[in-house]
Structure 1
């Protein structure tokens, strides 16, 4: 199998490469791969305000799930760890719901996502994965 990065990282430079790759994966999944439909569809509060019959409030669960699966896939592809992909799915869901519910800002949301990536790399580098 082709390895984009060494995972788990064995030295600090490898750890930085993994973190960089995870941040790139996050940027791609959160911006071009999300698109307008998922960005608005995953936000329950926005859907309520829109009152668009073509986008009922109930679609938010599906849109949020698809968005988080894209992120989980990016983490899994980069690290080769299905476990980290599953962890990313759950944590990304929680962080994005908090943002969509107005509990965090856009910047706080992005910082939390990067902190998760840093934690994945740290846990793997420490040999706990």
Structure 2
């Protein structure tokens, strides 16, 4: 369980910082979109990167899809000004804990 959680947290740091980059960080913001760049495509791409990591680490498409949805909503709310940076990061890390618990309860027994 600790290994899965550690990998999910490390993957989150990788996907939210170097793999996001300046372009995606700015382009995914629906409140201040980049001209000519559909914000929902950028937010979808960013969420898909996170979902891919979760899906590969847990070997679960369902947990990957849950991560996609959660990451999309959390980042959308942050861009709308309803969440602070710290609240955003807390919620993302809370999701990683939830995916770990679900992995242990549901997925690991099938491996």
For normalisation by structure 2, the TM-score amounts to: 0.90
| Higher alpha-carbon Rg | 1
* Paired position in structure 1 for 2:96: 117
Is the helix fraction higher in 1 or 2?
2
Contact 1:44 1:57 in 2 (8 A): no
Show structure 1 runs of 5+ residues with no match: 1-14, 48-54
Q: Does 1 or 2 have the higher relative contact order (CA < 8 Å, sep 6+)?
A: 1
Q: How many correspondences in the alignment?
A: 107
1:99-126 alpha-carbon deviations (Å, 9 max, x no partner)? 000000000000000000101111222x
- Find the partner of 2:50 among 58, 64, 71: 71
Question: RMSD over aligned Cα, in angstroms?
Answer: 1.3
Runs of 4+ in 1 over 4 A off after TM superposition: none
Cα displacement (A) at 1:31: 0.4
TM-score (norm. length: structure 1): 0.78
Q: Which runs of 5+ in 2 are unaligned?
A: none
Cα gap change, 1:110/1:57 in structure 2, threshold over 3 Å: closer, same or farther? farther
Partner of 1:97: 76
Shift of 1:58: 5.6
Secondary structure at 2:32 match in 1: helix
